[in-house]
């Protein structure tokens, strides 16, 4: 692709998608953000504006840069709006069937040379790439949450990903001011292969009555110098996402040490998914989060 990546499409206007669009626009790239309806697109654009405004207040971004970034972002519920993008990044829910359907739909509109990427945090890049018309131009670009704050991006090649796709993707991520780490295409890659079993073990510790929510989180904050406790972090990530990643690890590696904790399953079945639903291991409906166990 001559001239590299200049226009980026993002499918999914939620927390991850809006964050990716935010950093890409701030880096001077044109961005198209897509979601299933206009309400979600507008919500994503409002999130980006709010996060940029906070950066202005903190002094990390000028107001001029905020306005320039917002001017580079357009939004549409129509995938045809992605037709001129050099790179399209899928940032939908962590569900393989949903992602496959998105790829089947979007590839009908993309130009032949466009790269296609997924922000999946755990699912096989090789398998997702095989569901597209361009496995050689397909790659995993896994941003960390929250995208504007977190420095790391994992890049994961599928078995068919060619060198040009990898090189362009690496250059794109570095142009955003992020640090690249390369992971092999195994379930959950590097960060979540290590992080999610730790969170799952913390939930087992709660499930087995070893400690309360508050005791477990305090122990890991002060005893291991973690910035937040594992149960607080699980609520931030989303308990449904945590469960999905543990299921990918358990299915993909066939090892009982990755079995999702039954308490995690119970919380997800209750719809207590963490901060986004106001209840998880903490109840967020009041002025201050209160442990639910």
| Chain centroid offset of residue 135 CA | 21
Neighbours of 14 (CB within 10 A): 16
Q: Tell me the C-alpha to C-alpha distance, in Å, between residue 115 and each of 3, 69, 139, 265.
A: 14, 22, 8, 36
Hey, what are 103's tokens? 């790829």
Q: Which of 22, 90, 154, 244 is catalytic?
A: 154
**Distance between CA atoms of 10 and 75, rounded to whole angstroms?**
9
Length of the chain: 293
HSE of 281 in the Cβ direction (CA atoms, 13 Å)? 31
In which region does residue 48 sit, left (phi positive, over 0), alpha (psi from -120 to 50) or beta (all else)?
Answer: alpha
- Residue with token string 């989303």: 238
Q: CB under 8 Å to 259, separation ≥6 — which residues?
A: 246, 250
Annotated active-site residue 95? The verdict is no
Hey, what are 6's tokens? 């200049």
Q: Which of 18, 34, 119, 121 is catalytic?
A: 121
Q: Which of 18, 122, 142, 200 is catalytic?
A: 142
Q: Which of 183, 192, 200, 244 is catalytic?
A: 192
Annotated active-site residue 226? The verdict is no
**Distance between CA atoms of 118 and 1, rounded to whole angstroms?**
19
Three-class SS state of 11:
strand
Annotated active-site residue 154? The verdict is yes
Catalytic residues: 121, 142, 154, 192
């Amino acid at each position: 692709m001559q001239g590299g990546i200049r226009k980026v499409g993002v499918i999914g206007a939620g927390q991850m998608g809006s964050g990716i669009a935010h950093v890409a626009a701030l880096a001077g790239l044109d961005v198209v953000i897509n979601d299933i309806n206009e309400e979600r697109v507008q919500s994503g654009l409002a999130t980006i504006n709010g996060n940029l405004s906070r950066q202005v207040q903190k002094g990390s971004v000028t107001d001029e840069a905020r306005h320039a970034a917002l001017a580079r972002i357009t939004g549409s519920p129509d995938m045809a709006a992605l037709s001129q993008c050099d790179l399209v990044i899928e940032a939908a829910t962590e569900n393989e069937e949903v992602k496959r359907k998105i790829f089947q739909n979007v590839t009908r509109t993309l130009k032949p040379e466009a790269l296609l990427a997924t922000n999946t945090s755990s699912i096989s890049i090789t398998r997702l790439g095989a569901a597209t018309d361009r496995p050689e131009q397909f790659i995993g670009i896994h941003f960390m949450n929250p995208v504007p704050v977190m420095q790391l991006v994992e890049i994961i090649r599928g078995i068919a990903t060619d060198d040009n796709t990898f090189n362009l993707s690496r250059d794109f991520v570095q142009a955003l001011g992020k640090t690249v780490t390369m992971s092999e295409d195994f379930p959950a890659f590097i960060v979540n292969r290590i992080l999610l079993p730790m969170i799952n073990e913390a939930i087992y510790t709660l499930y087995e009555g070893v400690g309360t929510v508050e005791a477990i989180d305090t122990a890991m904050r002060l005893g291991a110098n973690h910035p937040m406790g594992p149960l607080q972090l699980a609520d931030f990530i989303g308990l449904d996402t945590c469960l999905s990643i543990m299921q990918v690890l358990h299915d993909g590696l066939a090892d009982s040490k990755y079995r999702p904790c039954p308490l995690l399953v119970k919380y997800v079945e209750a719809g207590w998914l963490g901060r986004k639903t106001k209840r998880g291991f903490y109840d967020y409906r009041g002025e201050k989060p209160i442990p639910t166990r």
